Amino acid sequence: MLLNLRILLNNAALRNGHSFVVRNFRCGQPLQNKVQLKGRDLLTLKNFTGEEIKYMLWLSADLKFRIKQKGEYLPLLQGKSLGMIFEKRSTRTRLSTETGFALLGGHPCFLTTQDIHLGVNESLTDTARVLSSMTDAVLARVYKQSDLDILAKEASIPIINGLSDLYHPIQILADYLTLQEHYGSLKGLTLSWIGDGNNILHSIMMSAAKFGMHLQAATPKGYEPDPSVTKVAEQYAKENGTKLSLTNDPLEAARGGNVLITDTWISMGQEEEKKKRLQAFQGYQVTMKTAKVAASDWTFLHCLPRKPEEVDDEVFYSPRSLVFPEAENRKWTIMAVMVSLLTDYSPQLQKPKF
């Protein structure tokens, strides 16, 4: 009852153009900005300009500062609901989305393959229309990117890619926020990818150049990134004056890199390929030997869960490793995505230097 009264008082004050404060709940006229993402889908960062991605990171920093540092209560998603479709298991994506959406006053609804089997017990078209009538947005963690494309086409609400075989955009937002916090700026950084040519690498390729970051990626032969993604990434590098290097040599990719990045070699759905993949990725483990050829200010990222063959303990648990701040930032970035796609809120925090 008291909470509802506070919300009513704040809403009334806002309608009159005033700012009203009750304890840590502070509202007011937001700063104006040119970026408007409300109503958009987030299927791939390919569909977003550099300024639009920067805006989401700015909003992430704003929410983290206001809620975590200042202790403010911001029910920006009060009265809104989120459908969460998970065909694959998850720790960080599920926890960050559920807790983040609820922290902003909304109601997340978790759906597994036991509850909803995309395109099997009901067509994707029908599923999209039903969810559109009952929720305000859908985050889907799926096997096929094509399923997301159909959901987005048929739904009248924002569809967010929680991971697919082709892209993992919400992970990359967390990575960039983490690097922004550590280095103070993203422009000019060299990212060194050592591992599989997978959805994480694809998402980096669709966005790094837009920040002025260089990318050096090493993948085993036969595990290179998708050629269509590479073609677009090459164009982005040309447009933004950045370097894109693809190689099969891990040390070549690591040389001079500010950020060493790897991921699992065996993604969900690839378990039958385990023996073959472990053989193909021999020599790709990130170690201090790898770090010796990197830049003097090198750091390490891994989206987790991590296996020892991908990165040894000395690097993974070193002071240079940013994996746990990276994991926490999954929460603040997904919160920013939800707020930007569902509301007109603008960040109050001064825009970071990117």
Separation between Cα atoms, residue 236 and residue 207, nearest integer Å: 8
Contact 137, 128 (CB under 8 A): no
Separation between Cα atoms, residue 290 and residue 191, nearest integer Å: 14
Structure tokens at 112: 């597994």
Residues 6+ apart with CB under 8 A from 60: 173, 177, 329, 332, 333, 335, 336
Q: What is the 3-state secondary structure (H, E, C) of the chain?
A: CHHHHHHHHHHHHHHCCCCCEECCEECCCCCCCCCCCCCCCECCHHHCCHHHHHHHHHHHHHHHHHHHHCCCCCCCCCCCEEEEEECCCCCHHHHHHHHHHHHCCCEEEEEECCCCCECCCECHHHHHHHHHHHCCEEEEECCCHHHHHHHHHHCCCCEEEEECCCCCHHHHHHHHHHHHHHHCCCCCCEEEEECCCCHHHHHHHCCHHHHCCEEEEECCCCCCCCHHHHHHHHHHHHHHCCCEEEECCHHHHHCCCCEEEECCCCCCCCHHHHHHHHHHCCCCCECHHHHHCCCCCCEEEECCCCCCCCECHHHHCCCCECHHHHHHHHHHHHHHHHHHHHCCCCCCCCCCCC
| Catalytic machinery residues | 303
Bond prior to 305 in cis (omega within 30° of 0): yes
